[in-house]
Amino acid sequence: MAILVCGGAGYIGAHAVHQLTAKGEKVVIIDNLQTGHRKAINPAAKFYEGDIRNCDVLKKIFTENKIEAVIHFAANSIVSESVKNPLKYFNNNVYGMQVLLESMVNFGVDKIVFSSTAATYGEPEKIPISEKDKTAPTNPYGESKLMMEKMIKWIPNLRYVSLRYFNAAGAIESGSIGEDHQPETHLIPLILQVPLGKRDHITIFGNDYPTPDGTCLRDYVHVIDLADAHILALNHLREGGESDIFNLGSGQGFSVKEIIAAAEKVTGQNIKTEIGERRAGDPAQLIAASDKARKILKWTPQFTNIEKIIETAWKWHKNHPNGYED
């Protein structure tokens, strides 16, 4: 039986497919290549180019393959874009989930691992954030992911794990796959564009937050550790574990300035900075309590050092300065 990975050509999806196939799992990918990359598709997986909103493609996949479970990454994920164009997010993310769930029900597929986000919490009431805390998204992206989580919960006989990621970072250590968003909005790849000579400086979005150095604190978690959590979640469901929601983070917060300093150490170059305005909707701190995933899923992140995480990102970006286009 195979695992259907929706969005297996994207950043986290491609790393998950790598880890799944390395463990001998049979993988089928569906990806519309809107934000995913053809070159990120693992040759060990069977690939269908298509959209999860298209029930005919899903029907074809579920008919041609014996699918045991779904791991669902296929979604739009840029906060600023979601504010400008919320209906794109409700269509692709929420409606996409509806069609996927309908097909799963029709074909009797009863397990799903869902790629959710810390953006479901919104502005946290306390740090670290626990799964029991209030969910109050502050943008349509986070709202769409929360709606997707809620939809899954109501489907009879469907068992699920939703994984709320904090800040995904890094790349596989070989440097063969990595982060390539167009446009790029994430801190670490943008910082690394400075030593790559692709940008003159990095703008720090606000230095007047109520944090030790005035810049925002985030919880960075390595993409391979995230990928491994999906496999543990899948095995949890296979073993009859209960449906549940888990945070995935390191439990440690790093400020924007600390990340820049770590990137200078890793790259051996000075990174020019400028102080800019706060970015709308950025909470001062987002740090996960992820003891639940460690306890129940037995998740043990391997990448606990921020410099090591940045080192893996640097290896990818140095070898692929134009992402998958090279």
Q: Interface with ligand UDP by CB under 6 A: which residues?
A: 167, 185-187, 190, 202-205, 216, 218, 256, 279, 282
Minimum CB distance to ligand UDP, residue 205 (Å): 4
* Residue with Cβ nearer ligand UDP (172 or 288): 288
Q: Which residues are the active-site residues? A: 141
**Nearest-CB residue to ligand UDP?**
216
Instruction: Quote the least distance from Cβ 203 to ligand UDP, whole Å.
Output: 5
Q: Terminus-to-terminus CA distance in the chain, angstroms? A: 35
Query: At CA 198, angle to CA 190 and CA 7, rounded to 5?
Result: 50
123 vs 282 by CB, closer to ligand UDP: 282
Q: State the nearest-atom distance from the C-beta of 112 to ligand UDP, in Å.
A: 23
CB 148 within 8 A of CB 181: no
Q: Using the minimum distance from each CB to ligand UDP, give the nearer residue, 41 or 260.
A: 260
Backbone φ/ψ region at 282: left (φ over 0), alpha (ψ -120 to 50), beta: beta
Letter string b/e over residues 49-87, b meaning 16 or more CB atoms within 10 A of that residue's CB: ebbbbebebbeebbeebebbbbbbbbbbbbbebbeeeee
State the minimum distance, in angstroms, from the CB of residue 134 to ligand UDP: 19
Q: Which is nearer to ligand UDP, 27 or 262 (CB)?
A: 262
